[in-house]
Structure 1
């Protein structure tokens, strides 16, 4: 419905930054940009022809928290499939998934939450679940030095790789010397940050490049150690995409192979434009959430886990949504369960199972309007989700 559209791209990070189009919606639909091709239907996110069937489930009976009115109902949450919780704003989606379902599972696993909602009992195939993870959009690290590479544990392998170089062994340098989180190899003037914070009291703080290391975060003797012509700071300055190419060229080195394997998961969730050393403090909530997703994908022993997401597509382009859906699919292929709260029809139509709350928000919500597959919700006259999904399925299904 916009009067004027500015389309940036073509992709994200260093692969973007250009104005691909500026004009009206009608003109955009005739343009050849990524956004235009998705809006016009030239590029589509394929909708499954068949929904995954399920037998096992976790059931919550008697949920009564905030505006939920499920005292006499039992809600089944399917396992091993993709479930989407839908409904208008204020219908009780977050209360059901977070305050009740997640809290009930955490209580079952012996870690009760302070904000747990009221429910009568939790039942079903609980013996099939080993873990439950609520993937939110909170920052990935408490330290400003935390970054994508450290979070997915790729930096551990990078430190090991640099410590294995001849010059490092000759100087008796250990992997810890290539860490900016502990004393040893980091610049102690800036504590490995590369910048110095100046507290201005009644004004905004000022950040200056560290004079001691010139922003390179490490001592000179550490920066002198190189791997294939690059020092540790050079690696931090690479994008994820560049680092994958760089380490992948060393086909004989097992450590380099491990680094590539972990970084590939950041690429899978659409974050290959980020820099290796990009501070977690400047990542968006959506980027932090996808880094957490990449971490769980990278774990080898990660089966029988329920993953919960609250509106993971907020702010995402169609192109990024497609990548996110592939990542969800990978989790399910590994024997896990994915449940999300969503308003986005691009996600809802991908569901194996829908739990629709409503019919309205606030006091007029909190009821289960529908449970079933996307093809059936369009027949539910009481569901606003079904009403809008009907037109979407007609337009985009193929």
Structure 2
């Protein structure tokens, strides 16, 4: 009989950590290999962690709500002994027997932060040094602290740098500068301390996913200066082709043909034409992605949104894209998506037309630098130009809107890319073979 360590397994591309939801076992429980022992959440989806062997749980090293890294030891168990059938203790019971959570000890307080006050009227001068180390940024993201709030924290490092101990001291004191107003210049504008009447009514608590979505949206707006461009596209040939071929397509490939695969195919082509739209920002560096992975914002039954990803969309035929889109949408509806299926996107499409919206101004899915919104397809009378003269015809029209990160995508690149997407939509071959 020997004792082994249970480590948090790798849960997908770009997933480095997760938050413990609950244990399904307690110390002393006998478990079988592949039996679920733990539920864990990431910023993508919830997952179950299985036992790696038959044995007996001897120690639980983490507890609910703790954030753990991939590869971190989360429990210990003995293996090699004869196991007798024993039902695992429900998560609630296990929770009581789990060891108490030990919070990371904050560094010794610095004199510079000892004068902080928890008053909502607290005012502070912004730090002159706006460079933050990756470690500080990582801690800030974990605690949902914006860059604006980071700039209000008193810094004790060299050249006004914000240190890890500064941010831990600040968090320990209750984040007194969270809603603080910066001290205005002599003629500067001071943000008014508005006492808004939020009214009365039924209180509905946000679920965990809605909280994460809210945090991500606020973080994205704080991180990227958003600019939105618009174009209009004539989808008549695409609409007519789909209507004429959707039945034959399903009979041949066994897949429904919606507009989403057609959109993904065209967007992947445009991204390939403009590789600088397929990037991420890392400090003062731009990472140009090798793969073109198209995310598609999808509504869940709960009303929340998730972004499953079609990997290497530029290298796949339409029937393959359609199969993946249908499978991902089905998994989303049934909460069956895996980490790998919701991570690694390099550009995202949000089909707001599904909800009847004419157009939208989507928020960028970090760490991407652009997101495309496709509006509703509507029949309209349009003036068409021909050699023999102008004619008024009924056409299938749609508005496209692109929100892009103006730090690295200027108006020329954003506008050119958006126009290229519209061109691919409009130039759809009406005689295309399935």
Tell me the TM-score range normalised by the shorter chain: under 0.3
Q: TM-score, normalised by structure 2?
A: 0.24
Structure number with the bigger relative contact order (C-alpha 8 A, sep ≥ 6) is 1
* Structure 1 or 2: more strand by fraction: 2
